[in-house]
Amino acid sequence: MEIVQQYSANDRQELLNKWYREFYPMVYKLVVDKTKDTSIVTDIFHDSLIVIYEKLVRNELKLTSKISTYLYSIVSNKCMEHIRKANKENKVAFTDELDEVEESVYDVAKDVLLKQLALCLEKLSDSRRKVLTAFYFHKLRTNSIAEIYDLKNSENVKTQKYKAIIDLKNCFKKHKAA
C-alpha cells in the first residue's frame, strides 16, 4: 500500500500526474459502464482526484486499502450522484411534458363538454332552463326562484330542477352514443 502522507507539497503534483496515467483507464471504464456517458469521464475523474488531494493536503487521508480501491469507490459514488441528478432532471422534464399534455387534453375535453352542455341546455324547455340557470349559475335558493318565476312553491322548483337534470342526462347520453 502506498503511504500518501509521506509526499511533500512539491511531489504532490507528480503524484497526481502518476495517478492520472495509472488510473484513468480504470475510471474511464467504470464511468462509461455505470453512466453510459463518455462526456463526463474527465469531470468525474477530476472531481474524485480533488477529493483525494484535499484529504491529502489536510493530512486526513487514512488508507486501509490501495489508493486505486479508494479512488474506485469515490468515482462510483460520483457516478451514482450523476445518475440521480440526470434521473431527477428527466423526471421533472417528463412531468412537465405530461402536465402540458394533460392540460391540453383537459382543455379539449372541457370544451367538448361545455359545447354539449350548451346544446343540451338549448333543448330544455324555457321554464326548466330558467330554473337550472337560476339555481346553479346564479346560486339562488328554491324559494327565491319560485317567487321570480311565479312557481307555486319551492317543491315545484325542485321538481322542475329534477326533471331538467334528467333531460340533460338523457341529452348527454344521446350525444355520447352519436
**Greater pLDDT, 17 or 159:** 159
Chain length of the chain: 178
pLDDT for position 1: 37
Q: Is the pTM of this model over 0.85?
A: no
Per DSSP (E only), the strands in 37-109 are: none
pLDDT for position 158: 92
- Domain boundaries defined on the chain: 4-93, 124-177
Is the model's pLDDT at 142 over the cut of 80? yes
Q: What is the pLDDT of residues 22-79, one digit of tens each?
A: 999 999 998 888 888 889 899 999 998 888 888 877 888 787 888 888 888 888 998 8
CATH topology assigned to domain 4-93: Rna Polymerase Sigma Factor; Chain: A (1.10.1740)
Q: Chain centroid to CA 165: how far? A: 39
Q: Tell me if 163 sits within 8 A of 128, measured CB to CB.
A: yes
Is the model's pLDDT at 4 over the cut of 70? no
Q: What is the pLDDT of residues 72-110, one digit of tens each?
A: 888 899 888 888 887 776 665 556 665 665 566 566 677
pLDDT for position 2: 46
Phi, psi dihedrals of residue 36, rounded to the nearest 5°: 60, 25
Is the model's pLDDT at 175 over the cut of 70? yes
